[in-house]
């Protein structure tokens, strides 16, 4: 299933086109997602709710291992935000020319000790420390206005989902440094990320190199085997 975004007002588009843009969330500067981040939150929350509903519907038909989540550019950013919030792993994640919308905030959350840097009157030495995927999940769900996970644990995150991120070295719209930062923070959050850099490539997927890498990734995560298992 290839979902498309709804129309949201764009702060980056010319005024005459601002209300006609199909986008997952409002992004004022594609080269700097940290600019006016609060304007992104409403669209992120609305789109996440829509995507999660689609995922729930698909999971009523197929097991989670048969589901691959992903996207291109802003779609990759949206899909990463959803992945971090999931309560279960899926078969895989494929991101192209993307970024992590709240990368700087998540980086800070993951860098904190479990009880913060200052005095905590509610400190409980018996309480188990939260693992990095759980921290990322809690932070993401709060930003996207999703209910907290009941009984959060490593097993109730998507951190076992294999992740493939690829980016063109000459991307003029979403600089490759944003893709590299996304890969770095996802690894810090406890995810296994395969990062691919494509030389002499702008803001799109590289043919045939990147397509070949995607096909190999899908084969490695077991889809070929599963397809044979379900061959009638």
- The answer to whether 8 touches 21, Cβ cutoff 8 Å, is yes
| Token pair belonging to 136 | 């990322």
User: What is the per-residue pLDDT across 175-218, written as a single tens digit (0 to 9) for each?
Assistant: 999 999 999 999 999 999 999 999 999 999 999 999 999 999 99
Q: Show the DSSP H helices in 13-144 as ranges.
A: 38-59, 74-85, 103-111, 132-143
Q: What is the pTM of this model?
A: 0.83
Q: Where are the domains of the chain?
A: 66-116+129-229
Residue 91 phi, psi dihedral angles, 5° rounding:
-65, -35
Name, in order, each residue with C-beta under 8 angstroms of 176's C-beta and a sequence gap of 6 or more.
167, 168, 169, 197
pLDDT-based confidence at 112, cuts 50/70/90? confident
Asked if 8 contacts 43 with a C-beta cutoff of 8 angstroms, the reply is: yes
Long-range contacts of 214-222 (CB under 8 A, 24+ apart): 214/94, 214/164, 214/166, 217/92, 217/94, 217/162, 217/164, 218/68, 218/92, 220/162, 221/68, 221/91, 221/92, 221/162, 222/65, 222/91
**Rounded mean pLDDT, 94-116:** 88
- In contact, 162 and 172? CB cutoff 8 Å: no
C-alpha span between 103 and 105 (Å, rounded): 6
CA angle 130, 90, 232 (to 5 degrees): 155
Query: pLDDT tens, 150-184?
Result: 999 999 999 999 999 999 999 999 999 999 999 99
Percentage of the residues of the chain whose pLDDT score is greater than 70: 75
Beta strands in the chain (DSSP E): 68-72, 92-96, 163-168, 193-198
Torsion of CA 86, 88, 93, 98, to 10 degrees: 20
In the CATH scheme, what architecture does the domain 66-116+129-229 have? 3-Layer(aba) Sandwich (3.40)
């Amino acid at each position: 299933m290839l979902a498309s975004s709804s129309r949201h007002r764009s702060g980056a588009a010319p005024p005459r086109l601002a209300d006609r843009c199909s986008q997952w969330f409002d992004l004022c500067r594609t080269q700097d997602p940290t600019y006016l981040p609060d304007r992104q939150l409403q669209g992120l929350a609305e789109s996440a709710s829509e995507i999660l509903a689609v995922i729930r519907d698909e999971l009523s038909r197929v097991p989670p291992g048969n589901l691959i989540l992903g996207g291109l550019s802003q779609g990759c950013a949206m899909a990463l935000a959803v992945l971090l919030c999931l309560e279960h792993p899926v078969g895989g994640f494929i991101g192209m020319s993307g970024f992590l919308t709240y990368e700087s905030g998540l980086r800070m959350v993951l860098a904190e000790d479990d009880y913060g840097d200052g005095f905590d009157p509610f400190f409980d030495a018996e309480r188990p420390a939260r693992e990095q995927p759980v921290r990322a999940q809690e932070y993401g769900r709060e930003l996207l206005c999703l209910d907290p996970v009941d009984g959060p644990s490593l097993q109730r995150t998507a951190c076992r989902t294999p992740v493939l991120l690829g980016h063109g070295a000459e991307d003029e719209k979403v600089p490759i440094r944003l893709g590299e930062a996304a890969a770095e923070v996802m690894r810090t959050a406890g995810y296994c990320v395969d990062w691919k850099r494509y030389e002499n490539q702008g803001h799109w997927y590289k043919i045939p190199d990147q397509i070949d890498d995607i096909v190999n990734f899908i084969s490695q995560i077991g889809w070929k085997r599963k397809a044979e298992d379900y061959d009638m």
